[in-house]
């Protein structure tokens, strides 16, 4: 049996879950049309029914999980939510123990620093929603970001909670601890424990090597916003470079828009029903190693990762009953990844490369982003600078891996920095698909207002083919403005 299907069949909250026979395609079509059965399909389904029958008989002799007692086994979502709440409770308890153990250190002569921001965000979609249940026109949300940092003689503590309340999409209303860690620094080494954010990468259009943290997709499509990752990290800095080791005992699941939200797939992703290839589920221990250094004008980083992949496959599922509800289930498989990031600086040129090789669910594949940024300094003898960016994106993964939009694409963009007192900047770019007549345009602008306010604006325009991967985004063009108050 396919490992992903086996993972679904043995999932503790899915004793009656029908096993899907194919992955979901972004354009709503599948490789096998309804009614078409591949060779041996009928025979395979008979074998599956026999295996399911044996599984049901074995289930009768197994102890029923506490979250099932008094409930139908079809109600697997409450079970998943209970397991998730238990995991979060254990995580918070571990953090409290960590802070308690660091109490003597906090009692040292030290100081706390507090900062944060609260912002209002407005989104306007130019076209009516394509899918039922989605709202048209305007949407509003409020976000709160708070940072507390403590610095001792050789140690520090950082706590950064984040909260967003959205008027349209309940899935976008969420809370997260971006950071909550304690770190101790020695002579050329450091140890960190807790939740932390780590960034790897040099390119603009896509960060292939940035694999430590999970993407907070409900925040933005650009995948720049990340969830806090529980970890123990060790750093060692010597003349030959910086060596890092990461031990990550708990996995964070990717966020997805809900049924009411825009910018989503035609079928809603059921984030409460995620399944895993590993029998440890979210508690699989992931390991990552990285070495980075510089040689003259060249900066290099090399990493290795083994654990639960941050990108899920989306498998179709229809609930049982008189009114089945089709949804997508995230399936997280185990991956091994090797990667490199390079940047060469020469005068006004920045040459960039990110490349990975990954042993995924069923295939080994290679992906890369390569290009340059050239900056024109002092435009018209003024203070502003203009950078021109060009990058090529390649990815040869097969259909059994998580779907990517960047298999053969070109990114062209510009970065304009006014270098004024208000710190005004504009970044714009467009990604062209070389295989299909599709493109995606993005513009981001930012400007400080007075001492404590910052205004931002975003514009996203999609040109998708009805039969292409961006087809269901063709009516999702939007403008977003936000105003944040810093304190």
Domain boundaries, the chain: 3-486
d(Cα 356, Cα 339) in Å, to the nearest integer? 4
Global pTM reads: 0.79
**Predicted pLDDT at 318:** 80
**Predicted pLDDT at 468:** 79
| Total residue length of the chain | 487
The architecture that CATH gives domain 3-486 is Beta Barrel (2.40)
pLDDT by position in tens, the chain (length 487): 444 444 444 443 443 333 333 333 333 333 333 333 333 433 444 444 444 444 444 433 333 333 333 333 333 444 544 555 555 555 556 555 555 555 555 555 568 999 999 999 999 999 888 888 788 889 999 999 999 999 998 999 999 999 999 999 999 999 999 999 999 999 999 999 999 999 999 999 999 999 999 999 999 988 999 999 999 999 999 999 999 999 999 999 999 999 999 999 889 999 999 999 999 999 999 999 999 999 999 999 999 999 999 999 999 988 776 667 789 999 999 999 999 999 999 999 999 999 999 998 888 999 999 999 999 999 989 999 999 999 999 999 988 889 898 999 999 999 999 999 999 999 999 999 998 889 999 999 999 999 999 999 999 999 988 877 888 888 899 999 999 999 9
Classify residue 226 as exposed, middle or buried by CB count within 10 Å of its CB (0-12, 13-18, 19+).
buried
**Predicted pLDDT at 62:** 36
The beta-carbon contacts of 193-198 under 8 Å, at least 24 apart in sequence, are 193/98, 193/231, 193/232, 193/233, 194/95, 194/98, 194/230, 194/231, 195/95, 195/228, 195/229, 195/230, 195/231, 196/158, 196/228, 196/229, 196/231, 196/233, 197/226, 197/228, 197/229, 198/229, 198/233, 198/246
Q: Copy the structure tokens of residue 433.
A: 């698909």
């Amino acid at each position: 049996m396919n490992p992903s299907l086996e993972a679904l069949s043995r999932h503790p909250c899915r004793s009656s879950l029908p096993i899907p026979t194919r992955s979901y395609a972004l354009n709503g079509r599948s490789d096998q049309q309804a009614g078409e059965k591949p060779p041996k399909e009928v025979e395979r389904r008979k074998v599956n029914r026999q295996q399911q029958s044996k599984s049901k008989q074995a289930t009768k002799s197994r102890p029923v999980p506490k979250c099932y007692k008094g409930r139908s086994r079809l109600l697997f979502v409450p079970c998943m939510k209970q397991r998730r709440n238990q995991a979060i409770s254990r995580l918070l308890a571990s953090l409290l123990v960590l802070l308690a153990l660091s109490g003597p250190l906090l009692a040292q002569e030290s100081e706390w620093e507090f900062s944060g921001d609260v912002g209002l965000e407005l989104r306007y979609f130019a076209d009516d929603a394509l899918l039922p249940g989605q709202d048209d026109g305007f949407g509003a949300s409020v976000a709160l970001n708070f940072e507390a940092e403590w610095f001792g003689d050789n140690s520090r503590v950082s706590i950064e909670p984040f909260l967003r309340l959205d008027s349209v999409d309940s899935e976008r209303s969420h809370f997260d601890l971006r950071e909550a860690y304690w770190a101790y620094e020695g002579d050329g080494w450091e140890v960190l424990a807790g939740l932390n954010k780590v960034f790897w990468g040099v390119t603009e259009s896509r960060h292939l090597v940035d694999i430590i943290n999970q993407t907070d997709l409900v925040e933005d499509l650009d995948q720049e916003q990340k969830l806090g990752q529980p970890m123990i990290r060790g750093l060692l800095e010597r003349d030959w470079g910086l060596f890092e080791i990461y031990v990550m005992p708990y996995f964070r699941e990717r966020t997805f828009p809900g049924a009411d939200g825009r910018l989503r797939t035609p079928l809603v992703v059921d984030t409460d029903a995620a399944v895993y290839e590993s029998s440890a589920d979210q508690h699989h221990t992931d390991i990552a190693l990285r070495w980075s250094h510089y040689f003259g004008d060249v900066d290099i980083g090399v990493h290795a990762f083994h654990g639960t992949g941050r990108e899920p496959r989306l498998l179709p599922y229809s609930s049982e009953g008189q009114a089945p509800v089709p949804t997508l289930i995230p399936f997280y498989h185990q991956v091994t990844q090797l990667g490199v990031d390079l940047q060469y600086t020469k005068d006004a040129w920045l040459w960039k490369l990110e490349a990975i090789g990954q042993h995924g669910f069923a295939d080994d594949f290679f992906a890369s982003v390569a290009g340059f940024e050239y900056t024109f300094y002092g435009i018209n003898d003024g203070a502003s600078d203009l950078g021109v960016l060009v990058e090529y994106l390649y990815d040869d993964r097969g259909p059994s891996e998580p779907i990517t939009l960047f298999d053969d694409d070109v990114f062209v963009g510009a970065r304009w920095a006014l270098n004024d007192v208000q710190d005004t900047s504009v970044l714009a770019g467009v990604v062209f698909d070389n295989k299909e007549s599709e493109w995606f345009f993005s513009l981001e602008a930012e400007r400080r207002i007075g001492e404590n306010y910052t205004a931002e604006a975003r514009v996203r325009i999609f040109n998708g083919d009805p039969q292409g991967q961006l087809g269901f985004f063709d009516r999702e063009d939007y403008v977003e403005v936000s105003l944040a108050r810093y304190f």
